[in-house]
Chains A and B, each alone.
Chain A
Amino acid sequence: MHARSLQNFFLYVLGIFAAAMAMFPLVWATISSFTPDNRIGGELDVTAWDLANYEQVMSEQDFWASLLHSAIVSTGATAAAIFLGILAAFGLTRFRVRFRRLAFAILAIRMVPGIVLVLPFYLLYRNVGLLDSLFGLGVTYLTFALPFAIWMISGFFESIPFEVEEAAALDGASNWMILWRILVPIAMPAILTTAVLTFIFCWNDFLFALILTSQKALTFLPLLLRYVLPQGPLYGQIFAGSTIFLLPPLIGLILIRRHLSTAFGLGAVK
């Protein structure tokens, strides 16, 4: 009994230490963003709260536009990936013929490094006038969003027993109706989870946005680079921007919190 409570004590020490370490950079940057810029560094003076960093970032010329661009391109790419992903997952998993090798090929191309793709996209877009456009940027996001969506949704569809749709098929329901009226509603929590994770991947992208956009389709992370001056970054403004930038993913994760642990592990364990 005594040994057990000692063990529990150590588990708590370990767990709380890990949680504190994990939270620390985020919390520190958030607190820093509320302190005057010249204090950002070693010590935090929590008595000197200040919104100056936020005022400066939010009055930046393209602040709202870039936030809106990030939202539009991430939402658009996510919606396209989820729609196409639902169709493909249905075709891959719910028919008599199984396309296992095809599913693995789709997973394989997800691992192609962005650095290989971004240069050809740049040259292509320069020729066809898609450089600095939200549509063009969104298409490049499909390179990671679509394979991810197909793989995740296929995994969820596979876990649904066939019996549920066999009855409907005998009643004369078409494949299309079975998919949207039966399978999608059953898998909805899982599909939403996939959507939130896909959105976050798009939202956090930096490489494609940096190379393929400049002004008309400027997204938020490249905008923050304006605060990197030759003499060093203006951390106050960057951290204020980063705190604002973190809110949509945070809200998304709170929405799917109950499915989060399954979602993170699932792709790998299944």
Chain B
Amino acid sequence: MTGKASRDWRSRGRALAYILPSLLVLALIFLYPLGEAFWISLQRWNLISGVKRWGGLYNYAAIFTDPGFPQVVRVTFVYSTLSVAFEFALGLGLALAVRAGVRRGLPGFALIRVLVLAPLLVAPLLWAFYFRAFYSPQFGLFNAILNGIGLPSVLWVNDADIAIYSLVLADVWQWTPFMFSILLAGLLALPSDVVEAARVDGASGWRILLSIELPMLRPVLLVAILIRTIDSLRYLDLVLVITQGGPGRSTEILNYLAYRTSFQEFQLGRGAALSFVVFALVMVVAGALLRVMWKNANAR
């Protein structure tokens, strides 16, 4: 082998040759649809009447001046914030418990660690059907349980005041395991020497957790929270299957509004503009996520 050959061995051009096929595919399946979606969002286009004409920023203006829009923003905020907050608290608690169980060598905890992941197996659409059945007013399991212990029935998803919280419950029930698995992996990857040193110095378990482990885990906690926030902003299935935004508009989250506008009302321009609002929102959170991961990756 000549010196020239070995110098070429890891050249930039050769690296790009391997990356290029993926880049071409990604360019085709992202750049074109994103450009097209933006173009559509600038048209006033109703598929039913067939009227299509240039609208400029009309659709965006119409979205933000719609008197119902603040309500949609509020519902989206409540849904995402509550879901992610509960998933985080429960996921962290469970991760700490399972880590303690595994560390103490308690038999069965390896199995528990796998079993709690079960909801992640279920397609979100099917999960939504499970909970639609649970919430059914007359025959639903939840009301049967309430009645069984002598409590009155609850209109889980038929009462505009509580429907959104019922959706949050279904969301938390499915996605807490996701939070749990990320947090547990982070907890188990913590270097043990610092913790050991603190323990030798007589620090209590809670003290170690709060002032050493959680600060060290901060990037992982942030990543887990941001990923779940992004996913919850993109989520559709629960609303689509269980409430269709109702009663009234009490569970109409932004992503569902975009779906309904495009594919049920066939106002394509307005729907595309709404999907861009979702996109912008997601990208703001994604920007924060990537900053954390970038700092994290470069700190190594």
A interface list, Cβ under 8 A from B: 7-8, 11-12, 14-16, 18-19, 21-23, 25-26, 28-29, 32, 40-43, 84-85, 87-88, 90-92, 94-97, 99-100, 102, 104, 106-109, 111-117, 119-121, 123-124, 139-140, 142-143, 146-147, 150, 169-170, 172, 175, 179, 200, 203-204, 206-207, 211, 221, 224, 232-233, 235, 238-239, 242, 245-246, 249-250, 253, 257, 260-262, 264-266, 268-270
Q: Which residue of A42, A119, A203, A265 is within 8 Å of B123 (Cβ)?
A: A203
Contact of B275 among A26, A116, A204 (CB under 8 A): A116
Q: Which residue of A lies closest to B129 (CB)?
A: A238
Contacts of B220 in A (CB 8 A): 268-269
Binds A, one of B71-79, B136-144, B160-168: B136-144
CB contacts (< 8 Å) of B298 on chain A: these are: 100
B29 at the interface (CB under 8 A from A): yes
Is there contact, CB below 8 Å, between A102 and B115? no
Q: Could you tell me the distance in whole angstroms from the C-beta of B118 to the nearest C-beta in chain A?
A: 5
- Residues on A with C-beta less than 8 A from B200 are none
| B interface residues, how many (CB within 8 angstroms) | 104
Contact of A14 among B21, B94, B223 (CB under 8 A): B94
Whether A111 pairs with B16 at a CB distance below 8 angstroms is no
B15→A41 contact, CB < 8 A: no
Which among B1, B134, B227, B258 is the interface contact of A170 at CB below 8 angstroms? B1
Point out the residue from A41, A116, A140 that lies within 8 Å of B139, measured CB to CB: A41
Q: How far is the CB of A74 from chain B (nearest CB, A)?
A: 12
Determine if B118 and A235 form an interchain contact, defined as CB atoms under 8 angstroms apart.
Answer: no
Name B103-132 residues within 8 Å CB distance of A: 104, 106, 108-109, 111-119, 121-127, 129-132
Instruction: Give which listed residue, A25, A113, A119, A269, contacts B185 with CB less than 8 A.
Output: A269
Given A40-B133, A142-B25, A235-B129, residue A95 in contact with residue B12 (CB < 8 A): yes
- A239 contacts across to B, CB distance below 8 A: 129-130, 133
Asked whether B26 lies within 8 Å of A106 as measured between CB atoms, the reply is: yes
- Contact partner of A91 (CB less than 8 A), chosen from B1, B16, B118, B278, is B16
Query: How far is it, in angstroms, between the C-alpha of A147 and the C-alpha of B27 when the chains are bound?
Result: 12
A11 touches B101 (CB 8 A): yes
The 8 Å CB contact of A265, one of B115, B185, B276, B289, is B185
What chain B residues lie within 8 Å of A262 (beta carbons)?
Answer: 185
Q: Whole-angstrom distance from the CB of B36 to the nearest CB of chain A? A: 4
CB neighbours (8 Å) of A268 from chain B are 182, 185-186, 220, 223-224, 227
B268 contact set on A, CB distance < 8 A:
119
Q: Which residue of B lies closest to A220 (CB)?
A: B123
Given contacts A40-B133, A242-B126, contact A87 B19 (CB under 8 A): yes
Known A-B contacts A40-B133, A113-B255, A249-B121; the reply to A146 vs B12 at CB < 8 A is: no
Given contacts A88-B18, A117-B33, A172-B1, contact A23 B282 (CB under 8 A): no
Which chain B residue shows the least CB distance to A110?
B286
A119/B40 contact (C-beta < 8 A), A84-B25, A206-B125, A268-B224 known: yes
Known: A16-B112, A117-B33. A91 touches B94 (CB 8 A): no
Name which residue of chain B comes closest to A109, CB basis: B30
B64 within 8 A of A: no
Contacting pair A97 B117 (CB below 8 A): no
Chain A residue numbers with a CB within 8 Å of B123 are: 203-204, 206, 221, 242, 245
Nearest CB in chain B: distance from A239 CB, A: 8
CB pair B40 A113 closer than 8 Å? no
Task: Out of B106, B173, B259, name the residue touching A12 (CB < 8 Å).
Answer: B106
